[in-house]
């Protein structure tokens, strides 16, 4: 019996691995809502619904973007990946991380929306897009956020970085630490604004991760990315996100442009209960930054559907427990499990469940006890943890003695 980091020397359990493969799933989504009582039932449904299938059977559209990464945030399914892990210049999409760290400081009480940050000469003399801060003035954090996200102000980015961390270099260190924490595995920031630097890079996938966290972690601040205009110092500027002005269901979040990187956009929107996050970069013109994301988002909303599989805490299986105060423990999932896929793809999915049993006692609620794995076209697309739904302490006294004797006797 394996438990923790080692193997117990006495009373080993007769542990085995159960594997179930289910194909030919049901064609209707109607049965997916019925209660699940055991693992086989779960897999019969999972074969129709579970998985991360990045538009294989459904051919993705061509795009002029050098990089494009599209994910359904509701289910986590990747719907389009064109050079999603290729390094690129993030340009002003960098400011999403500047906003993230500002939001984090707000919720943890390190600053407030009404706190005034000074405008240094470094901030004041920044080129490129600006909110036109006055040298030596004190500007509220909330105004700097609007200047950052609506005006794409490089001066606002520097003022926030200096106000929160003392210097741009110190703030960049915070940005990089947060990137690692969020799982942005190929990102390195040199500044808060996205000003070009050879060592300032990211990937479309990493920006999608960042945008997803912005939306999920700080929903109370998301409206700043949606606002269309902002007036500061007598100058009224419109949000540079072109999709905010079109009926395409987009409500945020950030544009970017450099001569080297081209035109980019991280966009998010919700339609029919599905929130998408799209990152495109390397587009040749402002018009293409308007047209390409609109076309890609419409394709994703129209071609895929969201199917529910399991609700958080829903019973999947009763797993036997070795030397436990109870004979078994309920097995469930820690979060709702949904899948986004083209309806025609349901019948081509294969689901493999792996459950080690009996489970060694003690078992704690939330312990990972197995996996649901989705395969498509010979490749693994997604795995979902199966977790214990209750605590089962180790048996003791006469109960433990009886269990041990029962194992030793034929």
Residues noted as catalytic: 92, 95, 152
> What CA–CA distance (Å, rounded) separates 194 from 257?
9
- Measuring CA to CA, how many Å separate 406 from each of 14, 162, 264, 410? 12, 69, 66, 8
Place of tokens 């040199």: 190
In angstroms, the Cα distances linking 291 to 177, 272, 330, 358 are 35, 22, 50, 56
Helix (H) or strand (E) holding 399: helix 397-408
What's the token pair of residue 25? 């799933």
Contacts from 114-117 at CB under 8 Å and sequence distance 24+? 114/140, 114/141, 114/142, 115/140, 115/141, 115/163, 116/140, 116/141, 117/141, 117/144, 117/159, 117/160, 117/162, 117/163
Both structure tokens of 322: 């070795």
Q: What CA–CA distances, in Å, run from 385 to 86, 117, 170, 294, 316?
A: 29, 45, 38, 35, 12
Please provide the size of the chain in residues. Answer: 410
Burial class (CB in 10 A: 0-12, 13-18, 19+), 5: exposed
> How far is residue 4's CA from residue 90's CA, in Å, rounded to a whole number?
42
Separation in Å, CA 341 to CA 64, 273, 349: 24, 14, 11
d(CA 27, CA 7) in angstroms, rounded, equals 45
Rounded to whole angstroms, the Cα distance separating 282 from 288 reads: 10
- Contact status, residue 228 vs residue 244, Cβ threshold 8 Å: yes
Closest listed residue to residue 278, CA positions, set 222, 363, 353, 215: 215
CA nearest neighbour of 331 among 101, 26, 40: 40
């Amino acid at each position: 019996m394996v438990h923790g980091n080692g193997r117990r020397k006495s009373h080993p359990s007769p542990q085995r691995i159960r594997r179930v493969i289910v194909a030919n799933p049901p064609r209707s989504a109607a049965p997916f809502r019925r209660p699940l009582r055991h693992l086989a039932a779960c897999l019969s449904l999972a074969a129709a619904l579970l998985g991360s299938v990045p538009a294989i059977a459904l051919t993705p559209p061509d795009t002029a973007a050098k990089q494009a990464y599209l994910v359904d945030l509701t289910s986590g399914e990747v719907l389009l990946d064109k050079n999603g892990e290729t390094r690129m210049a993030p340009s002003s999409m960098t400011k999403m991380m500047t906003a993230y760290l500002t939001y984090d400081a707000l919720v943890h009480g390190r600053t407030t929306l009404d706190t005034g940050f000074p405008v240094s000469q470094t901030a004041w003399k920044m080129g490129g897009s600006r909110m036109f801060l006055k040298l030596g003035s004190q500007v509220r954090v909330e105004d700097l956020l609007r200047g950052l996200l609506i005006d794409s102000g490089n001066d606002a980015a520097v003022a926030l970085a200096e106000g929160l961390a003392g210097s741009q270099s110190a703030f960049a260190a915070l940005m990089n630490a947060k990137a690692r924490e969020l799982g942005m595995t190929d990102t390195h920031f040199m500044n808060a604004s996205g000003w070009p630097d050879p060592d300032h890079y990211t990937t479309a996938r990493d920006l999608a991760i960042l945008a997803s966290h912005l939306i999920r972690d700080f929903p109370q601040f998301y409206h700043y990315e949606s606002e269309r205009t902002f007036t500061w110092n007598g100058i009224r500027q419109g949000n540079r996100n072109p999709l905010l002005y079109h009926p395409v269901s987009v409500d945020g979040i950030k544009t970017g442009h450099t001569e080297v990187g081209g035109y980019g956009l991280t966009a998010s929107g919700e339609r029919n209960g599905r929130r998408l996050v799209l990152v495109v970069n390397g587009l040749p013109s402002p018009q293409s930054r308007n047209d390409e994301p609109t076309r890609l988002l419409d394709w994703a909303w129209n071609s895929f559907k969201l199917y529910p599989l399991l609700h958080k805490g829903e019973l999947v299986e009763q797993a036997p427990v070795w030397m436990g105060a109870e004979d078994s423990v309920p097995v469930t999932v820690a979060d709702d499990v949904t899948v986004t896929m083209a309806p025609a793809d349901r019948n081509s999915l294969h689901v493999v469940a792996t459950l080690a049993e009996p489970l060694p006692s003690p078992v704690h609620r939330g312990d990972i006890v197995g996996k649901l794995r989705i395969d498509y076209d010979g490749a693994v697309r997604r795995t979902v943890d199966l977790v214990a739904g209750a605590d089962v302490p180790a048996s003791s006294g006469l109960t433990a003695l009886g269990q041990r004797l029962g194992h030793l006797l034929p």
